[in-house]
Structure formats: C-alpha cells, structure tokens
Amino acid sequence: MSKVLLHICCGPCAISCVEALRQAGFETEGFFYNPNIHPFSEYLKRYEAVIAAGDRMRLSVIYHKYDFEKFLREVSCIENRQEQHRFCWRIRLEETARMAREKEIENFTTTLLSSPYQDIGQIKVLGAEVAAKYGLSFLPEDFRRGFAESHKRSKEWQLYHQNYCGCVYSEKESIEQREKKRKV
Ligand code: SF4
C-alpha cells in the first residue's frame, strides 16, 4: 500500500482529506506543522482539535516544532501579502516533504487543498516544486468537495473552529472585516 504524509492545518479540514486519501487506497499519516498560527493560545486550540480529530479517525499524527520566532522574523521582512502567503505555504510544504523523506514516505500533500479560502492553484504549483526538490510525489488532490461535510462532522465532534487563517496579519484583517460588516 502506498503511503502519504498529510500536512494538517487544522482538525476540521483534516476529516474529509483523510477519508479521501484512505478511499484512494493510501496509508495516511498526519503532520501538524504550522508556525504561522498566532498567538500561542490559538495554536494550542488548533493543536488540541487535531489531537481530537486524530483520535476519532485513528490517525497517527506527527506534531512538529512550533518555530514561530523564525516564521515571524522571515514573514515580517516580506511586505506584499501575496508573497507572505506564498512564503507561508512553502515553508509548511517544505517541512512536510523533509519529514516524508526522513520517514521514507513517497507521497505528501496538504489539507490546505481543501480550503475555499486558500489559493489552491498556487499551492499545487508550490507542491510540485517542493516535490521535485525532494524527489517525492506531491498529490494535488482537490479536497474541496469534502469541505462542507468535513466541517459539519467537526461540529458534531465539537472540534474548535478558527475564524481567521492563522497569522497575526490575518487576525487583524478578519477583525477589521467583521467590524466593517457590523457598521453597515
Ligand atoms: S493569511 Fe494565512 S496563508 Fe497568508 S501568511 Fe497568514 S497564515 Fe499564512
């Protein structure tokens, strides 16, 4: 059976991705690496939701370092928001590929491909670039079909649902948007 290392951004998104990969015949292992999530209290909520989802699905998950200092240092030198996103996707895909190679898992992919809020096209391109660099296969699955069902199930399981992407910039944007809507 072919193996895949699945980068997991959060518990709710993981559900349908794990099911789709298992249905496609992959032995699936999770990888939680998200130094982009701020503040630490928010990181812990998402981390605990992944533990809960992993238990429900009997999924083995590797919980990797939270090197947010490095993330902040590097992302704060990038002024363009699009470039920040690309940096943020790339470092998580690279770390997943590094871990997959270390564990001799030939394929990797990410739950980011399930999100209607992320640029799936760019993530697929980055995934392919990273895969070529590490001599692995990136699975460019379109997990978005399962997004609604995944989030419905995660509510039944009472998993934590975030209301911003992850970094402090996205938290500010999300609060500003909510404020704007409230005033209309
Ligand atoms: S908005 Fe999301 S993808 Fe973009 S830099 Fe922040 S955490 Fe990363």
> Where residue 30 sits, what CATH number does that domain have?
3.40.50.620
pLDDT of residue 183: 86
pLDDT of residue 1: 84
Q: Is the pTM of this model over 0.75?
A: yes
Averaged pLDDT score across all residues of the chain: 96
Average pLDDT over residues 24-30: 98
Residue 76, pLDDT > 90, answer yes
pLDDT, tens digit (0-9, with 9 covering 90-100), for 160-180: 999 999 999 999 999 999 998
| DSSP letter for each residue of 37-92 | --SHHHHHHHHHHHHHHHHHHT--EEE----HHHHHHHHTT---HHHHHHHHHHHH
Number of domains making up the chain: 1
Nearest atom in ligand 1 to 37's CA = 7
127: phi > 0 → left, psi -120 to 50 → alpha, else beta; which? Answer: alpha
DSSP 158: T
Cα(104) to centroid(ligand 1), Å: 29
